[in-house]
């Protein structure tokens, strides 16, 4: 008897990947499930692994990459202050290249012929998985069932998948009344589909959030935390040293109980369509606020403005899945150098969904009070501004004399 070809499935235990175990077996494959542990806050790992085995997976393993996700992926993006379309903190986007990396490592261990993912073929994840996998292994074979007509004929949508799971007694969180697609990791939780596909529906009223309370239910008392940075990396919380994972996890709890970090937006997907998603990222929202404040004190104007112009480019690359490429390597080398002076402490205040900066402190501070003071004295001489403005205004005076404006 010929042995079956082996495949590694990026397995989340959710609706799509649970269905895929059965479908791949029907196609004659031996399925090896890999649950990439990214710190998903609301998932029962033991139950998810047992479900894979019960459905028929040849193996179900966990790859714990939580620390790597925070230190090597999330924090470099944080240093860039990268937000896709000025809002989205890229929690799902950041994690996908790491999932591909872990699955390829597992495929090598079991001798698999292909890497399988459950991205729908309409969204961004198919790009992120495939671009990362091909960059790491140019010979990789990728099976993406949602891009296969025979799979879509069997499962035109989530309704049919839910019916399949019910028929096979496969437990899933999604239901016909709440068919939301969610993606979890320690950085955030995203929610799509269901009633969220109607932009007139208030998204935060229909989601059972997993990391945050509503601002209305948050304590009626301000809570303060102090975040310490070294070269743009958060390293202490209230004076205590923290690993990257500990930093994110503890701030998730603190900011989450104060209702911080929820957003609802319509974004432009890489494939060209607009989509609506609700996100919660309490810890990362706090870190973005603290990091920006630390930069305000320690980075000079021209470097900050250059970083700001490039930040949108980095966010777009992360969103599209262009993580393992020469351009990103160069950009990451740049930001590592640029962030060297970003060290010190920022005190944050949380109150009913709001996160604000309460104070700054840094030995690298470029803020010199005697220069900036509105009081008299100091080393700044206002007389110097006369010549400065005459020089700056020279082109305007020349233009005005040659081409007078009506006014």
Q: How confident is residue 174, by pLDDT bands cut at 50, 70 and 90?
A: low
Do both 197 and 143 map to the same domain? no
| 12 in a known ligand binding site | yes
Do both 199 and 168 map to the same domain? no
Averaged pLDDT for residues 328-347? 98
Tell me the residue range of the domain where 53 lies.
Answer: 6-180
- Which of 180, 207, 229 finishes a domain? 180
In a domain, 403, yes or no: no
Mind listing the pLDDT tens digit for each residue in 135-148?
999 999 999 999 99
CATH number of the CATH domain containing 272:
3.90.1260.10
Do both 91 and 173 map to the same domain? yes
Place of tokens 């009913």: 352
Do both 35 and 169 map to the same domain? yes
Averaged pLDDT for residues 204-218? 95
Nearest to 183 by CA among 53, 7, 31, 16: 16
In a domain, 391, yes or no: no
Cβ-based burial of 326 (10 A; exposed 0-12, middle 13-18, buried ≥19)? exposed
Averaged pLDDT for residues 196-215? 94
Q: How confident is residue 177, by pLDDT bands cut at 50, 70 and 90?
A: low
Mind listing the pLDDT tens digit for each residue in 46-74?
999 999 999 999 999 999 999 999 999 99
- Which of 135, 157, 180 finishes a domain? 180
Query: 143 and 114 in contact (C-beta within 8 Å)?
Result: yes
Nearest to 238 by CA among 285, 290, 282: 290
CATH number of the CATH domain containing 95:
3.40.50.620
Do both 260 and 150 map to the same domain? no
Do both 140 and 30 map to the same domain? yes
Do both 202 and 100 map to the same domain? no
pLDDT at 344 over 60: yes
- Which of 336, 361, 386 finishes a domain? 361
| 14 in a known ligand binding site | yes
| 69 in a known ligand binding site | no
Do both 263 and 209 map to the same domain? yes
In a domain, 44, yes or no: yes
Q: For residue 238, which phi and psi values (nearest 5 degrees)?
A: 55, 40
| pLDDT > 70: percent of the chain | 98
CA separation for the pair 325, 339 (Å, rounded)? 21
Mind listing the pLDDT tens digit for each residue in 261-300?
999 999 999 989 999 999 999 999 999 999 999 999 999 9
In a domain, 390, yes or no: no
| 3 in a known ligand binding site | no
Query: 227 and 283 in contact (C-beta within 8 Å)?
Result: no
Do both 344 and 278 map to the same domain? yes
| 118 in a known ligand binding site | yes
The catalytic residues are 16, 96, 125, 181
Do both 137 and 256 map to the same domain? no
Q: Which run of H or of E encompasses 206?
A: none
How many domains does one find in the chain?
2
Q: Residue 328: its pLDDT value, please?
A: 98
Do both 227 and 142 map to the same domain? no
In a domain, 47, yes or no: yes
Q: Residue 324: its pLDDT value, please?
A: 98
Do both 26 and 88 map to the same domain? yes
Q: How confident is residue 169, by pLDDT bands cut at 50, 70 and 90?
A: confident
* Mean pLDDT over each residue of the chain, to the nearest integer: 94
pLDDT at 319 over 60: yes
| pLDDT > 90: percent of the chain | 84
Q: Residue 290: its pLDDT value, please?
A: 98
Q: Residue 175: its pLDDT value, please?
A: 59
To the question of pTM greater than 0.95 for the whole model, the response is no
In a domain, 77, yes or no: yes
Q: Residue 178: its pLDDT value, please?
A: 61
Mind listing the pLDDT tens digit for each residue in 354-394?
999 999 999 999 999 888 887 877 888 899 999 999 999 99
| 268 in a known ligand binding site | no
| 279 in a known ligand binding site | yes
């Amino acid at each position: 008897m010929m042995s079956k070809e082996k495949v590694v499935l990026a397995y989340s235990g959710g609706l799509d990947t649970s269905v895929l175990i059965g479908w791949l077996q029907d196609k004659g494959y031996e399925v090896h499930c890999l649950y990439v542990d990214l710190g998903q806050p609301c998932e029962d790992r033991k139950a998810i692994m047992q479900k894979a085995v019960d459905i028929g997976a040849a193996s179900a393993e966990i790859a714990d990459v939580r620390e790597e996700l925070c230190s090597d992926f999330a924090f470099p993006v944080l240093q860039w202050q990268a937000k896709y379309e000025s809002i989205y903190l890229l929690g799902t986007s950041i994690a996908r290249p790491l999932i591909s990396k872990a699955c390829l490592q597992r495929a090598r261990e079991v001798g698999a012929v292909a890497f399988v993912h459950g991205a729908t073929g309409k969204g961004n994840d198919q790009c992120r998985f495939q671009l990362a996998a091909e960059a790491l292994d140019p010979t990789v074979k990728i099976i993406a069932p949602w891009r296969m007509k025979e799979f879509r004929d069997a499962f035109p949508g989530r309704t049919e998948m839910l019916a399949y799971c019910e028929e096979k007694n496969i437990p899933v969180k999604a239901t016909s009344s709440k068919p939301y697609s969610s993606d979890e990791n320690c950085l955030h939780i995203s929610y799509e589909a269901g009633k969220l596909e109607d932009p007139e529906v208030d998204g935060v009223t229909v989601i059972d959030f997993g990391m945050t309370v509503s601002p209305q239910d948050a304590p009626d008392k301000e809570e303060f935390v102090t975040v310490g940075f070294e070269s743009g990396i958060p390293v202490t919380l209230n004076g205590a040293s923290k690993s990257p994972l500990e930093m994110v996890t503890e701030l998730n709890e603190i900011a989450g109980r104060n209702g911080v970090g929820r957003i609802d937006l319509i974004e432009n997907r890489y494939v060209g369509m607009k989509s609506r998603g609700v996100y919660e990222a309490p810890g990362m929202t706090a870190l973005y606020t603290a990091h920006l404040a630390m930069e305000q004190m320690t980075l000079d104007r021209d470097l900050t403005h250059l970083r700001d112009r490039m930040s949108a480019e980095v966010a777009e690359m992360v969103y599209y899945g262009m993580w393992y490429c020469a351009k990103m390597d160069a950009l990451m080398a740049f930001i590592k150098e640029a962030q060297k002076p970003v060290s010190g402490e920022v005190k944050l205040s949380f109150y009913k969904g709001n996160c604000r900066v309460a104070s700054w402190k840094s030995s690298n501070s470029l803020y010199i009070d005697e220069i900036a003071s509105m009081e008299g004295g100091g080393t700044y001489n206002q007389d110097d501004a006369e010549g400065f403005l005459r020089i700056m205004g020279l082109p305007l005076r020349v233009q005005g004399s040659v081409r007078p404006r009506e006014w």
